[in-house]
Each structure stands twice: as structure tokens, then as C-alpha cells.
Amino acid sequence: MHGKVVMGKVMRAIGLMSGTSLDGIDVAYLETDGETIAKRGPAQTFPYDERMRNLLAAAIAAAGNLTSRHERPVALSEAEHALTARHVDAVGEFLRASRIEAASIDVIGFHGQTVLHRPEDGLTIQLGLGELLAGATRCPVIYDLRAADVAAGGQGAPLVPVYHRALSAKLPQRPLALVNIGGVANVTWIGRDGALIAFDTGPGNALLDDWMLRRTKLSLDEDGATAARGKADDEIVRDLLSHTFFAKPSPKSLDRNTFATRAIDKLSTDDGAATLAAFTAQSIAKSREHMPEEPELWIVAGGGRRNRTIMRLLAERVQHAVVPAEAVGIDGDSLEAEAWGYLAVRSAKGLPITFPGTTGVPAPMTGGLRADPLPARKT
């Protein structure tokens, strides 16, 4: 616990995470009072099929010119309904496989799919119909967790840092850095006194995944093998790192399409992969410029921890050990889904989920919309 918060009722939560890499839905079970973690339960991933990925890619492309978070042109509306239906199926399949009764779930944390994130314009759009999910699963749903923070002047991301702190409470190393390499990469710096600083560091897997799909029809660089065979173009990496984003003070956040990578089109498949892996690793290492102290340990979660080339390049560029989440007893696949269950409980209890040091919001604040199945049931 932190401060004078008194531990309250433990709630049973399911977290649903669909990330910027468009690969599928992570589902995880968690028991928490919104401060401490009572139990981390089963987790499961439900990959998207090609049709779902294409719908989401079309929605992201269509969202680029939107000026209101409530706009739903045809591409977004179609994707939102299909996305929600896929989440309904995922929850049902997960509960059956885990032998968990839906009636025992106090709340579902629903991330949805981010199709546009421009906090500098006060705009963030996550697709996902919370009321439809609540009605179909018969469980209360907390969704749209970023919007209130952005409306208050925050970045709306990253939201996971408060869960990172709870998850790493028993680790001795401080300061500590917990990096998530998803579609976009982000870092949480946890100080000796539990202080939180968090921000997006730059690209994660999205640019490399997109490159591999264009060049090889494969959705990722398995184990970083393609990047390992190539040679990074240092001039392109330097040019990418000169983007104004990296000089901005934290907190700060990114859209997956912030960086123009047309310069790599002239490279071979291997060299392009090596260049993008180097860009990801160097941008994470560069995040130290915004930290008060050098982390004594770097913990890496998300799909990027499986890219051996990115992990090796990062380890070469920071002072202390870089380890995958599993090395310290954390599940690097289910972490973000667990976090969304944790955030849903905090939201249900009116506890803050974003902070000045994590999103730049003026004061700690809660967030999220709540949808109850009809008739409403208490949590």
C-alpha cells in the first residue's frame, strides 16, 4: 500500500488488452483491493484472424483525419462492433477454459483498440462498446480509461505504471525500470520512495512488425532472427532519433504511426529489420535522459522481450542488467491484461489511475466509464 490508503474489499477482475500491434486479445484474471495484489490467476491469448486485423488496420487509417472522439465513420463502426464481439467470445472462452463462473467476476477492465492518440490535440479514440460487452458477458465493465486524463490535459498514457509499482513491491532493486515493448514501447521508473515517472519511449514492435509483414508476409521477426542477420543503417537510426519527440520532457506519449520510416524502404529485408530493432533499443536506452537516477535493473515485458536482437542491443546501451519479466516472477505476456483488471478495480473504487509523473495530468485522478448489465448488479 502507499500513503494512508486502507486496504479494502478484494475484487475479482478480468483484464482485456488489445494492443497497438493488432495481434490479438490478452485476457487475465486478477484478485486485488486496488492497492495490493491478492492473486494473479490464469491468462490466455486469443489471436486475431486476418479479417479482424484488416478491419482494425482500416479503422486506424480512417481515424487519421478525425477531429472528434465520438465520430464513427463506416470503417470505425464496423471495426468497433466486430472488435467487441470478438472480446465477448474471448471472455466466454476464457471463463470456460479457466472454470470460472461469470457471476463471480466483480468487474471487467476493457482496453479496447486505440485507433488514434493525439493528446496534444486533446484527442484519443479507443474502439470498444462497453455496454454491449457488459450485456453479453453479464459482468460490469469499466472502459474508455484514457479519455478523462486527456480531457484534463494529460497524455492519457501510459496507464500501467501504478500496476508496475504494485507488481514490483517486493523487489529489492531501486530505482527500477520496467519497460513494456508492445506496439509502442513505454517505461516506468520507480524511485527509492515509490515515486513514479512514466512515458512512452518510442517505437516498440509495431514498425518492425509492419516491415516484416510488407516484406515477408510474416507478422513479426521471430526471436529477432531477421534483424540479427542484418546490419543497421546508423545514419537512418540517427535521423529517426532526431525526431522532436525524444527531446520533449516526460510525461509524453505516442501514436503507433508517429515516425515516418520511408527511408528504410531502400534497404534489404534483413538490414531494414536490423535498423528498426536498433531504433527501438536505442530509443529505450535514450529514455534515461528523463530519469533522475540510473535504474539498478531493467525489466522487460511485452512481446519485444522475445526479440533477442532488441534485448541484446538494449543491454549494450545501459549500465545495469536487462532481464525479461519472467526472471523476476512476472508474466511478461499477461502483465498488461492484468493491469487493466487492476485499473478497473481502482476505477470502480474511485482511486486514481493516472498521476502528474505518469501522464502529466495536473493532479492524481481516476477515470473510465462504467457499463452494468441490465438489471444492474452491485460490485
DSSP β-bridge partners for residue 10: none
Name residue, grid cell 482485456: 16
CA–CA dist 313, 304 (Å, integer): 12
Flag whether pLDDT at 2 surpasses 50: no
Confidence of residue 20 (pLDDT cuts 50, 70, 90): low
Q: What are the φ and ψ backbone dihedral angles of 352, each rounded to 5 degrees?
A: -65, 145
Q: What digits encode the pLDDT tens for the residues 169-222?
A: 999 999 999 999 988 999 999 999 999 999 999 999 999 999 999 999 998 999
Q: pTM for the full model?
A: 0.85
Flag whether pLDDT at 1 surpasses 50: no
CA–CA dist 313, 285 (Å, integer): 9
